[in-house]
Structure 1
């Protein structure tokens, strides 16, 4: 046996990083700058003879089968590695349902028999790519927008905000505008609407958006023709291109627009970190790639700070936005790759690692909403929690 082959057998192999989103999945190895694959979160279901999404389930058993098929696609078609030889870093949202987390752990440890796994929340992983002590992470995913404040590697849980203002809201508004221009009978699948949004849509400045709401609208942008396989082509007007992203900034009585939840998150944080949060905003997610979004969000935030209820509680300076050293879609994945490579090479997280032996004994995961995991060992109520939970 050659010397380098013996060293390769002794060394622990790189862990894999899994970011299983509702629309796209990022998968790759720790220590690398980008995922090995970014694919849709779907697989070919042989029983139903169609492509089925991972999050399309009605029972825990169906979710288990979906995750088994999805991970088989990732491990054996896209990266070609043995799951038993690699630890896993799972990057997830803070609002991931408990059923999904526990089912994923069951699939990893019992079906694929991975040796260990680390569950890492996406806000801290995004902040890790910057190296800043205080970061305000604004994540625009496929379905919802999440805003979380990361202060010295800790997420301020009481300040986390979430609203259904993701890419799905932009696609729904785009379809509504296209039907106004092309007729109410226009039907386009989600992947076509997504492609139209990426290739043609942009976010207007605040002054121009206000003119669209007035009696004297501005001169619209140039219209474009989007070719379709069977319908020939659809005309995307300049008005539809500009106004598709307006639902993100549309205010209502509940103050649930994207700028509102950003300011509400800052208000819920300690007063001594609010200026630092405003100066370290990180916009991530697939919908964050829309041209003009950062400039428009900065303008809206500066304007809302002069209105109640924020004018009496916030004294913020200028809002500054960071650019992560990765694509907006894979920022959280890159943080997971750094987390997994930071300790013991491929050891994937050191003390936070959940080994397969420990999981097989306890059959439970640590969760920030569980008092048993958040109560210190010497707390007077700890014994009572051990008995009740």
Structure 2
């Protein structure tokens, strides 16, 4: 007697469900690893962008024997308004010496075509002419829409971190890389700002600026590697910043600390905005906190502008801290580095090395007064902001202790 066997050509329902469950578990296990790998790749790309900027700064220095200026351009050319073109060959408007160092290095990051547009008179579609070096970089989108100046609305890929999703209006051309202005925010002014029409200098305020200008970059002043007395490898030259997404993030949306008073530099002045953080969502401002009204005035929103908000930072509060202003929101800023990476942000050292600074870096006494004149910490003092502050100063002779 023969036994007959019947061949099965498929799975049973139970077997199919088991296979689907196993695949689901594997996908669940692998997806975080894939996402982490993608962020690691974006972070590496961000670091490479920074290395190219560092190389561009060194090449600029080799060509001109100084670093690119953070605060350059034209000033009051033929009495023309800052944001008004005209029909003459010389052009109208002027940049008020507020162009960032990122403008100067465009020829050194393979953006020669963009540099040619900027460094020559620019004819708009309506036949009007912007003078060489363009209009005031903080000119509004509305004005530039009526009188287009394409360089100021151009996104430069090398100035963007792939991890930052910020894109488009109301910002113009965005940047994720900024100049280091040291550990005292009186450095956001320059000596020229305190000279009146008769040519007489306000010596008191000039002395404030000189004492506070302790970073690798000094606003509207030529700086060279020889000025970095602490050593290029011990001094931060540039840092990473995030751009704003319109979500009241404390790192990219500037809050107001009230009027321009001495409390800005006195003990506890750095923390005057901290009470406006939403306790339930500490990465965002409270709905009642006063913030800058113009939606164009946001962190990293204009790569061509040298103002503190757009392309500079200070080493007072540690990375990914709040952004705060004290009256003049274009200049008197408290702004650190920040990023969309987890746990910190990149910095570019003076020797071209790129390092990742964690949020937990030793930052000294954040309640301290700043180094300036006016009965606060005297000029030449070591940074009160710990290792973080010491890295931001170029010639204070601090001994760096700690890892970063």
Q: Indicate the TM-score class for this superposition, using the shorter chain for normalisation.
A: under 0.3
> Which is higher, the Rg of structure 1 or of structure 2?
2
Higher relative contact order (CA 8 A, sep 6+): 1
Greater strand share, structure number: 1
Q: TM-score, normalised by structure 2?
A: 0.25
**Normalised TM-score (structure 1):** 0.25
| Larger helix proportion of the pair | 1
